[in-house]
Chain A
């Protein structure tokens, strides 16, 4: 017999059911068959409604308990890293949208930072503040989806709809910035696609106010709900030690007590000028991952407010001849502008020789771009370090010994996004 370790070796007590002492039952401890033909293989995915993307998880069950599982992915592989070596740095902006499509603005911002760092370009303050607001709005959207969908999977449907409304309104705000809702492509190397319209920050502040109220309502609705607690407390635990072994970052690591937040520890943009707290939990179960995200939404809303207060009119482009896209007025009316325009879009700009790993705290964890340039308009290597790749790897050890129904809770709580996982 294999030495499969079940977490159910202990009597089922408050940890599982919340009724202390009432059930004095011990689940069968060894990996012998529970009953005749109790071992079976269950294939979940690639297109299963509970998988949220094209992943596949093959689980070997003993009764209802997962003895072993094997996860597969790659169904939406679009060769982003190869394309990164065959497209100019400007052309690659649109591909970053399709990484984590729930928070594409964060990907845009991180990519723009990565290339600007390699070229030594400092963007004006207004652009930085707008980028920060974008990143935080995207984070709120991503967390709302994650906790909402996680709750839907476990049967709390109305909870999701509260958040969904706010999410739609946030997309409308983003639409006012760049005309697109989901695949934004808002940043450019050395600036932004367009300036925020007049009065945008006021609308954002109104949205923040409403969202705060909605989050408080959502919190009341679900967080202390007994069924929710029973389904999530002590389920799919991934502790601090494991988080470090499997390179977990972001809310999933913070839920297990790893004290890391790149916005605070490695401040880029103006994150050292705003005040916010980093919520940290200790156990690392589904509930902690849920609640860390809810708390983070509140913190993000604070940051958005602080940014909106400091947003001053000004330039949004760094006046660097290499990356500045000429204004349309100059393109249509001057010869130099026209030449500049064509040179920019047909040949791209040269990024000096060098290599850099630029990372930012994305909604799910550390998103990093490792760019190696040997000079010229195309990268030698465009490595995308997406957090989902490492989180999904942790799913196998996480669900070992859990019930098959908890697989859905675990997968929803680590918020694996197929676009970022497959790249």
Chain B
């Protein structure tokens, strides 16, 4: 029993209800993007709850804009990352992080997940042009994982102190430890220019 077991009170009907639409959209994307899509994990076949599309970094912006405009997945539910250190498959490919986007179709409420594989210290252009709301999400990913977003207007730490060292959600970051700051960090007046 795992995620593939339908649970009636926790969206157990989703596979039947949205399956055809998901298949249609993923097939259309496969056709138009071809090699740029590395893999597609479909629910029931794989242990995922919604289609998970792995897309190459250079085509990611194009794919996300197309999903937003053409397939009306216009609502960015969440943007986050995962650290794949010590994962066998990722280690073979030299991959360190997965950027994860959760999109929702605002009309039909269908969800879809996009993942982008990133190497350690690899940079990726910002997504602010597509969704202005990714501003803080990217700052959080930078703060927690140390992924750099090129062209971001204000890529600073967001949850941790500005003087903090290290990126806490990396797998090789220790759970315990102290960095103590006795003086407050005043806000940079340049930010209000």
Task: Kindly name the residue among B6, B78, B157, B192 whose own CB sees the greatest number of chain A CB atoms within 10 A.
Answer: B78
Provide the bound-state CA to CA distance between A293 and B74, in Å: 25
For A171, list chain B residues within 8 Å (CB): none
Separation in Å of the A392 CB from the closest CB of chain B? 8
Kindly supply a per-residue 1/0 record for chain B positions 1-13, scoring 1 wherever the CB is within 8 Å of any chain A CB and 0 otherwise: 1111111111100
Q: Are A117 and B7 in contact (CB under 8 A)?
A: yes
Say what secondary structure dominates the interface of chain A: mixed
Specify which chain A residues have a CB less than 8 angstroms from the CB of B161 in the assembled complex.
74
Complex interface residues of chain B between 14 and 70 (CB less than 8 A to chain A):
47-50, 52
Is B47 in contact with A355, judged by CB distance below 8 angstroms?
Answer: yes
Number of interface residues of A (CB under 8 A): 63
CB 8 Å contact bits of A126-160 with B (1 = contact, 0 = none): 00100000000000000000000000000000000
Q: Mark A369-388, 1 if CB is under 8 A from B, else 0.
A: 01010100000110101000
In-complex Cβ contact of B77 among A82, A247, A353 (8 A): A247
Is the CB–CB distance between A357 and B7 below 8 Å? no
Chain A residues with Cβ under 8 A from B169's Cβ? 81-82, 85
9 A-B residue pairs with Cβ-Cβ distance under 8 Å, sorted by A, are: A41-B189, A70-B187, A74-B158, A82-B173, A117-B10, A269-B10, A370-B80, A370-B100, A383-B78
Q: Are B1 and A120 in contact (CB under 8 A)?
A: yes
| Choice from B1, B10, B77 contacting A352 with Cβ under 8 Å | B1
Is A97 an interface position by the 8 A CB rule? no
Nearest opposing residue in chain A for B76, CB measure = A247
| B contact residues vs A (CB 8 Å cutoff) | 1-11, 47-50, 52, 74-78, 80, 82-83, 87, 100, 102, 106, 109, 111, 113, 131-133, 135-136, 140, 144, 157-161, 168-169, 173, 175, 187, 189, 191-192
Q: Determine whether A234 belongs to the interface, using a CB cutoff of 8 Å to chain B.
A: no
A118 part of interface (Cβ distance < 8 Å): yes
Task: Name the contact of A381 in the complex, choosing from B8, B82, B102, B135 (C-beta under 8 A).
Answer: B82
A244 to B50, CA, bound (A): 21
Please give, as numbers and ranges, the residues of chain B lying within 8 Å of A181 by CB-CB distance.
Answer: none
List, in ascending order, chain A residues with CB within 8 A of B52's CB. Answer: 355
CA distance A120 to B2 in the complex (A): 5
Chain A, 346-362, contact with B by CB distance < 8 Å: what is the 0/1 string?
00000011111111000
A402 within 8 Å of B by Cβ? Answer: no
B49 touches A357 (CB 8 A): yes
Of A58, A69, A120, A394, most B-chain CB atoms within 10 Å:
A120
Which A residues touch B7, using CB under 8 A?
116-117, 120-122
Residue in chain B with minimal CB distance to A423: B159
Contact A356 B77 (CB under 8 A): no
CA distance A70 to B161 in the complex (A): 16
Contact A354 B2 (CB under 8 A): yes
Residues in A with CB closer than 8 Å to B2 are: 118-120, 352-354
**Residue A400 at the chain B interface, CB threshold 8 Å:** no
Which partner residue on chain A sits nearest B48 by CB separation?
Answer: A355
For A58, give the chain B residue with the smallest CB separation: B187
Residues of the A chain whose Cβ atoms lie less than 8 Å from the Cβ of B100: 370, 383
In the bound complex, residues from chain B placing their C-beta under 8 Å from that of A356 are 3, 48-49
Q: Which residues on the A side are within 8 Å of B132 (C-beta)?
A: 245-246
Q: A147 CB to closest chain B CB, in angstroms?
A: 26
A270 contacts partner chain B, Cβ-Cβ < 8 Å:
yes
Chain A residues whose C-beta falls within 8 Å of the C-beta of B76 in the assembled complex: 247
Question: A113 contacts which chain B residues (CB < 8 A)?
Answer: 10
Residues of A within 8 A of B48 (CB): 354-356
Q: Which of A311-370 contact B (CB under 8 A)?
A: 352-359, 366, 368, 370
Q: Is the CB of A370 within 8 A of B187?
A: no
Residue among B3, B11, B75, B109 with the most chain A CB within 10 A? Answer: B3
**Are A41 and B5 in touch, CB under 8 angstroms?**
no
Task: Name the one of A77, A246, A353 contacting B159, with C-beta atoms under 8 angstroms.
Answer: A77
With the chains together, A121 CA to B168 CA distance in Å? 32
Residue pair A393, B168 in contact (C-beta under 8 Å): no
Residues in B whose Cβ lies below 8 Å from that of A366: 77
B11 CB contact (under 8 Å) in A258, A266, A389: A266
The 3 closest A-B pairs by CB, nearest first: A120-B5, A354-B47, A352-B2
Question: Which residues of chain B have C-beta atoms less than 8 A from A244's C-beta?
Answer: 74-75, 106
Asked if A390 lies at the interface with its beta carbon under 8 angstroms from chain B, I say yes
Report the minimal beta-carbon distance from B178 to chain A, rounded to whole angstroms: 13
- The reply to whether A393 and B136 contact each other, CB–CB distance below 8 Å, is yes
Bitwise, A50-67 to B at CB < 8 A (1) or not (0) is 000000101010000000
Query: Which of B5, B50, B157 has the most CB atoms of chain A within a 10 A radius of its CB?
Result: B5
Q: How far is the CA of A266 from the CA of B105 in the complex (A)?
A: 12
CB distance from B99 to the nearest CB of A (A): 12
A128 near B175: Cβ-Cβ < 8 Å: no
Residue A72 at the B interface, CB < 8 A? yes
Does A268 interact with chain B (Cβ within 8 Å)? Answer: yes
